[in-house]
Amino acid sequence: MAFLGTAAPRVMACQKPLLPLCRATTRCYSSQSTHTTEKSVPYEKTLKQEDGISGPTKPLPKFADVVVIGGGSLGCQTLYHLCKLGMTNVVLLERDRLTAGTTWHTAGLLWQLRPSDTEVELLAHTRNVISSELEEETGLETGWIQNGGLFIASNKQRLDEYKRLMSLGKAYGIESYVLSPAETKDLYPLMNVKDLYGTLYVPKDGTMDPAGTCTTLSRAATARGATVIENCPVTGIQVKVDDLGIKRLKAVETAHGTIQTPCVVNCAGVWATKLGKMAGVNVPLIAMHHAYVVTERIEGIQNMPNVRDHDASVYLRLQGDALSVGGYEHNPIFWEDVSDRFAFSLFDLDWDVFMQHIDGAVNRVPALEQTGIKSTVCGPESFTADHKPLMGEAPEVRGFFLGCGFNSAGMMLGGGCGKELAHWIIHGRPEKDMYGYDIRRFHHSLTNNNRWIRERSHESYAKNYSVVFPFDEPLASRNMRKDPFHQVLQEQGCVFQERHGWERPGWFNRDGPAPVLDYDYYSAYDVLKNTDYKYSEILGKEYTFDFPPHHDVIRDECLTCRNTVAVFDMSYFGKFYLNGPDAKKAADWLFTADVNKAPGSTVYTCMLNKRGGVESDLTVSRLEPSPAHLPLTPESNVYILLTLRGVAQHNWSHIQAVLQDQGFRCTLIDHTEDMGMISIQGPKSRELLQEVLDSDLSSDAFPFSTHKIVNAAGHKVRAMRLSFVGEMGWELHIPKESCLPVYHAVMAAGAKYGICNAGYRAIDSLSIEKGYRHWHADLRPDDTPLEAGLAFTCKMKTSIPFLGRKALEAQKAEGLRRRIVCFTVDEKVPMFGLETIFRNGVPVGHLRRSEFGFAIDKTIGYGYIRNPDGGVVSPDFVRSGEFTLERMGVTYKATAHLKSPFDPENKRVKGIYG
């Protein structure tokens, strides 16, 4: 099927709409311009002929507190919010005109619901800015149109996904409705509903106008003192090295002058990588062609909602009395050379690629079959490895901030992200949990790896409209970082997960090995499709909102750990050493717990930001002076070993920034890849390890939260008595070359106890059952230890200052306005997080994390709740309420717990069983 116009010839066999140029013009893209033309015209010609622009629109200042580079959605929003927070000496540099980059060709859609609580909050702020705040402030209209949004479901899984969004929306007061096909037809009479399973209707979704929005933002910012300079390309970034050897931003160079500044914000869209290189900063994104067509007039389409038909990979945006039609395909066209100037002609739109969207659109709105194409719009868009933006301060250069890589969502996320980025610049961190967008989420070995960037960004584009399942894993660019146990675990059926480039064990398949293969681009670009791909087939079976088919395998791993003994490969945990003359001072300031313990001690603690939010939880171990046993004790004067939960780059950057800002004379050494780590947990762990280690493992000789260097099967290892699953057990930190001999010795000794390998799916279940926090789920940078039930990690009874202490003291004096609560559900129903929490019928929050607890045989969830009246959330407030949880529109009675329902007296970790 294809669009047909009354004045157009019939579609040929190739199914390309062959319309006269007067009827089917192409909007040409140029990095220098936006304009409509009937043929490709180099912009360097049209710029001078049409605009007469020869230089910057305003004189360049000598100095600015912040220079924002790029005049699209993110640049204008960031500038506006910097001014809203009180900054006036800020400059925006745009190489051409506002919105002339990737913003001009955006569809401008704004949907309020996404499968992330943070993104729902970011979208809400954008909507508020565009729909009311700017107009009230400036008296100018932004072009906001509230015509509603309609999500199409052609199958049960898709409708289940939408129901999850609807339930989450109730926690935020977002109006939405699941409609039957008949109800959908009443709402949208032109729609074909014969193949529908149902729809989700959000009445207050809408459409933004890119030009109107950015113009109004720039005027509001300039009224507050900002300077917007157009037609001023950046030619260089100056970086200086301070007395401590730290790279810092110095100045921005243009052909028309240099601006001295300590801070630059890279909002350059598809040119962000090029701009980053000027400062020595890696910006891991890739540009791809993205296109849509605009139809001629359609009778009866006026005032209809915007439509997303994810299964057909098409969106339909209302444009007056016409529609814009676009989507995301599995074979997008890479923009291989993002040079300074581009121009498009009509035939630069690959109709063979685009026809799938036209076919989907005609199926959904049959009237389009007799509707002509008025114009096509084609331009570049930037995509990232995980379909999330790149934001925050670059780890390579202090003062160089990113606000780019928005995966076609720059307009809808711009307001929220602009606000957070402004707060980040002024206060050193954002207000919300922006870890998922923070550039530091990627390990430095990946951000300059072209294969990883290209493959993963392609997959993020191709899966843009895929259902977001709880156990999704990428297929692109796998096996980038492997620990010493990888091959032997793969041979035993390990189904790996990818985290931060690492392959870590997810769970163990009973049907033999399922290796991860090289990426096949979903058979696009004539790449031979992987056949008999067991790993991909297993993942496909896991993609459900019910209990996954391998639920019983996870159960067996968990119960083996609870009843006998299991071994976990946790090698991807970050392992850092902190040494130097100021190591003690640094440790006191960095960590919430008092780590001034005797050598051989290990302390569980948190690291905070200035607002008291948790940047990480970790263990800190004091080391004994001893001869060097590389990498177990790299130097005799090493003071502290830090063991961090996986997010090594984020933690590394956070610690380094604190050390730099405080001027501590310390060295941070990363030995993550020099050591493997296995954790042996369960009631039989002591008996097993006593056969492998040459040390007395009794509680008197080796108490909980202690560590020592011992011999394991003839190899030196560091043994720590710790647990992340709530059982008696030990972690073994093992030099790389000793990993396999020690592992084999453990497995041989454990055979008579029925030892099993277990993965992170089991850890997730076991840890939530015990009430342990999970980093970046129920413990995030916008949560304080007091709210998270981790007050015991904070040395509040001492006089030792630490980062974030003042914020905690203020919060404690005021009383907690929100608090984490554990919930259990008696009905055997799967929950995965984002379910709304109701207290006495009123929404008070949502689950951050949920798993099934096999020892107690219940679904367990953790979420932060608030008092609807804005008051303190006390233990009595929790105990006195009747709670329900809503999953996909269905509510379930829930029991609230202020302590873990499993082993609340912590006997098992102490080795007390029976």
Phi-psi region of 517 (alpha: psi -120 to 50; beta: other; left: phi over 0): beta
d(CA 611, CA 588): 17
Residue 289, pLDDT score: 86
Identify which of 2, 5, 18, 25 has the alpha carbon closest to the alpha carbon of residue 298: 5
| Residues whose CB falls within 8 Å of the CB of residue 742, separated by 6 or more in sequence, listed in order | 678, 692, 712, 713, 715, 717, 732, 734
Distance CA 43, CA 34 (A): 9
pLDDT of residue 450: 94
Q: Cα separations (Å) of 485 from 239, 445, 477, 568, 709?
A: 42, 20, 20, 11, 21
Q: Round to whole Å and give the CA distance between 11 and 2.
A: 7
Region 522-549: what's the mean pLDDT? Answer: 94
The share of the chain scoring above pLDDT 70, in percent, equals: 92
* CA neighbor of 162 nearest in space, from 545, 640, 659, 564: 545
Strand order in the sheet with 602-608: 602-608, 614-622, 638-644, 574-579, 667-670
Answer yes or no: is pLDDT of 531 > 70: yes
Residues 878-898 pLDDT 10s = 999 999 999 999 999 999 999
Helix (H, G, I), strand (E, B) or coil at 44: helix
803's CB contacts (< 8 A; 6+ apart) are 589, 590, 607, 608, 609, 610, 658
The helix/strand/coil state of 561 is: helix
Contact 92, 62 (CB under 8 A): no
Mean pLDDT confidence for 682-692 = 98
Per-residue model confidence (pLDDT) at position 338: 62
Phi-psi bin for 320: left (phi > 0), alpha (psi -120 to 50), beta? Answer: left
Radius of gyration of the chain (CA): 28
Give the C-alpha distances (Å, rounded to integers) separating 413 from 122, 171, 308, 519: 6, 20, 17, 30
Closest to 331 in 3D by CA, of 454, 166, 458: 458
- Mapped onto helix, strand or coil, the DSSP state of residue 117 is helix
pLDDT value of position 345:
38
Helix, coil or strand: residue 150 = strand
Peptide bond into 631 cis (omega under 30): yes
Question: Per-residue pLDDT tens for 594-638?
Answer: 999 999 999 999 999 999 999 999 999 998 877 777 788 877 666
Rounded Cα distance between 515 and 494, Å, is 8
Q: What is the pLDDT of residue 49?
A: 33
Alpha helices in 30-155 (DSSP H): 43-46, 73-84, 117-128, 134-138
pLDDT tier, 378 (very low <50, low <70, confident <90, very high otherwise): confident
Q: Is residue 404 predicted with pLDDT exceeding 90?
A: yes
Minimum mean pLDDT range among 351-360, 434-443, 537-546, 797-806: 351-360
Contact 839, 886 (CB under 8 A): no
In angstroms, rounded to a whole number, what is the distance separating the alpha carbons of residues 250 and 239? 5
pLDDT for the residue numbered 16: 36
Look at 378 and 781; give whichever has higher pLDDT: 781
Asked whether 283 and 375 are in contact (CB, 8 A), the reply is no
- pLDDT score, position 271: 93
38 pLDDT exceeds 60? no
Helix (H) or strand (E) holding 459: helix 450-462
pLDDT at residue 330 greater than cutoff 80: yes
pLDDT for 394 beyond 50: yes
Q: Taking 90 as the threshold, does the pLDDT of residue 661 lie above it?
A: yes
The whole-angstrom separation of Cα 312 and Cα 359 is 8
pLDDT (0 to 100) of residue 781: 95
Which residue from 235, 233, 265 is spatially nearest to 249, judged by alpha carbons? 265
Question: Are 270 and 381 contacting, i.e. CB atoms less than 8 angstroms apart?
Answer: yes
Confidence of residue 646 (pLDDT cuts 50, 70, 90): low
The amino acid present at 254, given as its one-letter code, is T
Query: Which pLDDT does position 339 carry in this prediction?
Result: 59
Indicate if the pLDDT at residue 906 is higher than 80. yes
Which string of DSSP letters, residue by residue, matches 380-439?
Answer: EEEEETTS--EEEE-SSSBTEEEEE--TT-HHHHHHHHHHHHHHHHHHSS-SS--TTTBG
| Secondary structure of residue 565 in the 3-state scheme | coil
Element (H, E) at 730: strand 729-735
For the beta carbon of residue 438, count every other beta carbon within 10 angstroms.
26
Paired strand residues for 249: 239
Question: In the structure, what pLDDT confidence band is assigned to residue 13 with cuts at 50, 70 and 90?
Answer: very low
- What's the mean pLDDT in 813-824? 97
Supply the pLDDT for residue 22.
28
**pLDDT 10s digits, 263-272:** 999 999 999 9
Q: How far, in Å, CA of 674 to CA of 483, rounded?
A: 9
Which of 149, 182, 192 has its CA nearest to residue 305? 149
The answer on pLDDT for 14 being more than 60 is no
Helices (H), 271-350: 272-279
DSSP β-bridge partners for residue 695 = none
Amino acid found at 42: P
CA distance 518 to 232: 43
- Report residue 140 as tokens: 């100018």
SS3 assignment, position 780: coil
- Number of neighbours of residue 912 by Cβ within 10 angstroms: 12
DSSP 596-630: ---TTBEEEEEEE-TTS-EEEEEEEEEPPP---BT
- Beta-strand pair 264-266/66-69: parallel
pLDDT at 346 over 60: no
Which token pair is 629? 């046993």
Inter-axis angle of helices 410-427 and 117-128, nearest 10: 100
Q: Which two tokens stand for residue 805?
A: 């202490």
Mean pLDDT value of segment 25-44 = 31
pLDDT tens-digit readout, 292-314: 899 999 999 999 999 999 999 99
In this predicted model, what pLDDT tens digit does every residue of 730-756 receive, in sequence order?
999 999 999 999 999 999 999 999 999
Q: Which residues contact 304 (CB under 8 A, 6 or more apart)?
A: 147, 188, 190, 318
Average pLDDT score over the chain: 90
SS3 258: strand
Q: Residue 320 in 3-state DSSP?
A: coil
- 101-138 pLDDT tens trace: 777 677 889 999 999 999 999 999 999 999 999 999 99
- Structural domains in the chain plus CATH codes: 66-104+211-286+386-441 (3.50.50.60), 143-207+287-384 (3.30.9.10), 450-544 (no CATH), 565-572+674-754 (3.30.1360.120), 574-671+784-803 (3.30.70.1400)
Distance separating the N- and C-terminal Cα atoms of the chain? 70
Q: What is the mean pLDDT of residues 344-366?
A: 76
pLDDT score for 342: 45
| Least confidently predicted of 27-31, 395-399, 659-663 | 27-31
One-letter amino acid for residue 615 of the chain: E
Residue 329 has a pLDDT of 87
Degrees, nearest 5: CA angle 196-198-202: 125
